[in-house]
Structure 1
């Protein structure tokens, strides 16, 4: 008689799946927290000009106005540069009302600190930008910043 058995095939124990739901919910929670939702979909072509001194600002008190030619999927709006606010095309006359509405939707302490960011395509005429700025003055929104890409170092 031998002390050890030879030739007996032992089976591997089954893998425990008890912790699998915990792992799935941790991953789900992580992706829900880490995902950033897009503010608005661009309906215009937006090739920003480049600048050599660029500063990043917080987005909590910033409202963006886009200007440029409609992109290829919105060619039914013509070839002339258009103004986009949130997810809609607006006219120059509607800039004041749109900015005042965005200001009303903000937190009370941020209303007086609102900054309007102009993301204007580099091929857009300066007359449209001037018209937008005139409407912003009428809305008493005097803090305006121009959005540009950082110039690559040579």
Structure 2
């Protein structure tokens, strides 16, 4: 009778030669899919709704202006200094943020002229666009002040940000 010997079979090790390629492919996928926020919001706003809206075709060289209530409570106590001295008490609860900086209505025109001057240095002044994101309850006096500051800075290409209004069920027979 023969003796049956059991052989110790070793499990082959995992081939990791293609692992860097796999990790690079996953990294590349997430770089394409992820949208990075460029601006830290210091203003809280609810966008108005509209029916005839179009998408912003080119987002490069866009200056964002946010009009709304301040996010920070310590900033809310000092909003009168951001809006200038001629504003009423009703407008004191509103802040204006340009890109990443909170500015007053009085210094908004000078700030926008500096932005436009920097864009001219890089040769992109013709394509400079302003996207105005205002709270739906913001006083029109503040929005008009921002529009006047844009005119003074000669920034005439302005987009107004809004969300799509849902169609009312009564409109469909």
Q: 1:150 aligns with which of 164, 169, 173?
A: 164
TM-superposed deviation, 1:114: 2.2
Q: How many residues align?
A: 151
Distance 1:22 1:143 in 2: 45
Task: Report Cα offsets for 1:49-71 as digits up to 9, x if no partner.
Answer: 00001101121232111111112
Give the match for residue 106 of structure 2. 93
Superposition RMSD on alpha carbons, in Å?
2.5
Give the match for residue 82 of structure 1. 95
Determine if contact 1:70/1:77 at 8 Å carries over to the other structure.
Answer: no
Task: Report Cα offsets for 1:78-102 as digits up to 9, x if no partner.
Answer: 4610100122210012211222222
Determine if contact 2:76/2:93 at 8 Å carries over to the other structure.
Answer: no
Within 5 Å, which residues of 2 pair with 1:5-154? 8=7, 10-57=9-56, 58-72=58-72, 74-78=75-79, 80-106=93-119, 107-108=122-123, 110-154=124-168
TM-score by length of 2: 0.74
Distance 2:44 2:11 in 1: 61
